[in-house]
């Protein structure tokens, strides 16, 4: 029986979530629980087109729910994180912390 080599924390990073804009979107959505497209665009300093592309990727991965509607005559888009989205963000932050620990101490930190 051979011991499994311990995985480096970078292998635990999810490419969909780790991209910096999508990580920002998930962070804002997690804290706000429900956030409007305009707020997200301003908070992250993005163009509407760029934000839409990233939202489409997150929605396709089942990490956010997108809801479109009207307030008066004004079209508005709201998004909220799914349970999978919350979990993915938590895992990503945990992996980043492990990575920091590994860089600073030369060994991986316990799972948190």
Partner 1 sequence: MPLQGTPHEVLAGLGELTRKVRAAQRGTWFPLLLLGVLMLGGILVSRFTFQVLTVPCPATAPAAGVGCTVVKQGSPLYWPIGIALAYAATAFFYIRRSRNRGVGTPVRPYILTGIALLGVVAATSFWSTRHGIPRPGEPLDFWGLHLDPSSEMTRFLERLVGNATAVGLPLLVLSWVERSRVLLLLTAVYVAIELVPLPTGWSGIPFTSPWFFLPRYAVPGVLLLLGALGFGLAELPRRRNAS
Pairwise CA distance, residues 9 & 94, whole Å: 9
- The CA distances from residue 26 to 86, 96, 108, in Å, are 8, 15, 25
Which residue's CB is nearer to partner 1, number 4 or number 74?
74
For partner 1, which residue of 12, 14, 16, 36 counts as binding (CB under 8 A)? 36
Quick check: 39 binds partner 1 (CB under 8 A)? yes
Quick check: 90 binds partner 1 (CB under 8 A)? no
Quick check: 57 binds partner 1 (CB under 8 A)? no
Quick check: 24 binds partner 1 (CB under 8 A)? yes
Q: Could you say which DSSP state residue 72 is in?
A: T
Quick check: 23 binds partner 1 (CB under 8 A)? yes
Pairwise CA distance, residues 62 & 59, whole Å: 5
Which residue's CB is nearer to partner 1, number 4 or number 70?
70
3 state SS of 75 = strand
Pairwise CA distance, residues 15 & 23, whole Å: 10
Note the residues at the interface with partner 1 (CB under 8 A): 20-21, 23-24, 27-28, 31-40, 42-46, 71, 76, 80, 93, 96-97, 99-100, 103
């Amino acid at each position: 029986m051979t011991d499994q080599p311990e995985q480096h924390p970078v292998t635990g990073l999810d490419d969909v979530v780790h991209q910096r804009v999508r990580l920002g979107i998930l962070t804002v959505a997690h804290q706000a629980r429900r956030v409007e497209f305009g707020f997200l665009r301003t908070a992250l300093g993005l163009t509407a087109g760029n934000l839409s592309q990233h939202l489409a990727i997150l929605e396709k991965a089942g990490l956010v729910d997108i809801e479109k509607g009207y307030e008066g005559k004004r079209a508005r888009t709201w998004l909220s994180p799914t349970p999978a989205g919350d979990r993915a963000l938590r895992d990503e932050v945990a992996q980043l912390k492990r990575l920091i620990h590994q860089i600073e101490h030369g060994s991986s930190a316990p799972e948190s």
